[in-house]
Chain A
Amino acid sequence: MQNKENIVSETEIYEVGYHIMPSVLEEKLPLEVSAIESAIVEKNGGVIISSETPSKIELAYTMAKKVGSTRYKCDEAYFGWIKFEMPASNVNTLKTFLDAQDNILRFILIKTVRENTLVGAKLLADEKSALIPKEDVKSELKVAKTSATEAEIDKTIDELVKA
Chain B
Amino acid sequence: MKQCFFSKNNIKHIDYKDTEILKKFLNPHARMLARKKTSVSAKSQRQLSEAVKRARFMGLIPFIAR
Footprint of B on A, CB under 8 Å? 17, 19, 57, 59-61, 63, 77, 79, 81, 106, 108, 110, 112-113, 115, 117-121, 123-124
Contacts and interface: CB of A to CB of B under 8 A. Distances in A.
30 contacts: A19-B58, A19-B59, A60-B59, A60-B60, A60-B63, A61-B59, A77-B59, A79-B58, A79-B60, A106-B58, A108-B16, A108-B54, A108-B58, A110-B16, A110-B54, A113-B12, A117-B13, A117-B14, A117-B15, A118-B15, A119-B9, A119-B11, A119-B15, A119-B18, A120-B15, A120-B18, A120-B19, A120-B21, A121-B20, A124-B20
Contacts of B60: 57, 60, 79
Interface string B1-23: 00000000101111111111100
A121 B54 CA distance: 19
Interface of B: 9, 11-21, 54, 56-63
B18 A60 contact: no
Contacts of B12: 113, 115
Given A63-B59, A117-B15, A121-B20, 8 more contacts: A17-B58, A57-B60, A61-B63, A108-B58, A110-B54, A113-B12, A113-B13, A119-B11
Contact of B18 (A59, A77, A79, A118): A118
Contacts of B17: 17, 81, 118
Nearest to B63: A61
A124 B23 CA distance: 12
Contacts of B19: 120
Task: Pick from B11, B12, B17, B20 the residue with the most CB of A within 10 Å.
Answer: B17
Contacts of B11: 119
B59 to A, nearest CB: 4
B5 to A, nearest CB: 10
B52 to A, nearest CB: 12
A135 B19 CA distance: 28
Nearest to A52: B17
Contacts of A120: 15, 18-21
Nearest to B55: A60
